[in-house]
Structure 1
Amino acid sequence: MDEKIYNIGVEATIEIIGGKWKPIILCHLRNQPLRTSELCQNIPGISQKVLTQQLRELERDGIINRKIYPEVPPHVEYRLSEYGQSLNQILNLLCTWGEQNIDRRQQAGESIKVLHHDQINPLY
């Protein structure tokens, strides 16, 4: 196996949770397990194909767990793994920073519409 080389620790973090969708998926899974359809509803703009790909990568990296319930049709839930829960503090900080950034930009006159998290997921 080739040796991985990182210049700074954040590179290893971004390698696992970087990109447009993974942090958003993880933020939605912080407080409760969700089905694929619920994630699609909570993340407008993500396609089923991309969501499935991102979930598979997060599962492969040990960040989330997938539980299949033997029902017809099959019921599949995703949740943060114990290892993935170690990201909760960082995810909370990212959400807080983003909300403060939005406030700052709105105060500077930028027009930004925010769908409040309580409208999307009441458990935030």
Structure 2
Amino acid sequence: MPKALPVIDVRAPICCAPVSAAPMRDDAALEVALRLKALADPVRIKLVSILLTADEGAVCTCDLAAGVDLAESTVSHHLGQLRKAGMVESERRGMNVYHRARAESLEALRVVLDPNRCR
């Protein structure tokens, strides 16, 4: 069984220099790793893609479930992992929950991983 990573609050934006700037500190590397771990699933990647390209901004769990052909409970689990990583925000509207991607969190991750950022 793989060793579990420590639990830290990763909802805040990544606050470290790009990986190409200098060798990363342990705490910064852990922050990036936890966010990448949250994305390291094909269903989660597809959910983020659906949320980023949604015309109406927020998408209901039921529509996301249909988009990835999974049960709503399974989709809710995946969205929970993305929410813990700060990549998705959710809002209850009556009986439904609507989700939207936090583009700024995904952009921060892209900036940290961009090898050309410090050139």
TM-score tier (shorter): 0.5 to 0.7
Q: How does 1:1-124 map to 2 (within 5 A)?
A: 11=33, 13-31=35-53, 32-44=57-69, 46-69=70-93, 71=94, 74-86=95-107
Which letter does structure 2 place at the counterpart of 1:62?
A: G
Residues 70-96 of structure 1: CA distance to partner in whole angstroms, max 9, x if unpaired?
x3xx23210012434527x7xxxxxxx
- The residue type paired with residue 42 of structure 1 is G
Return 5+ residue gaps in structure 2 as ranges.
1-5, 7-25, 111-119
Please report the TM-score for the alignment, with normalisation by the length of structure 2.
0.55
Alignment identity in percent?
A: 10
- Cα-Cα RMSD: 3.2
> Which one has the largest radius of gyration?
1
Deviation, 1:14, is 2.9
Residues matched between the structures, number: 83
Question: Larger relative contact order (C-alpha < 8 A, sep ≥ 6)?
Answer: 2
Structure 1 contact 30–85 (Cα < 8 Å) conserved: no
Render the CA deviation track for 1:56-109: whole Å, top value 9, x for unaligned: 11111110000112x3xx23210012434527x7xxxxxxxxxxxxxxxxxxxx
1:62 alignment partner, SS class: coil
Q: Shift of the alpha carbon at 1:54?
A: 0.6
8 Å CA contact retained: 2:52, 2:103: no
- The letter for the 2-side match of 1:48 is E
* Distance in 1 separating the partners of 2:103 and 2:67: 23
Amino acid aligned to 1:81? R
Scaled by the length of structure 1, what TM-score is found? 0.53
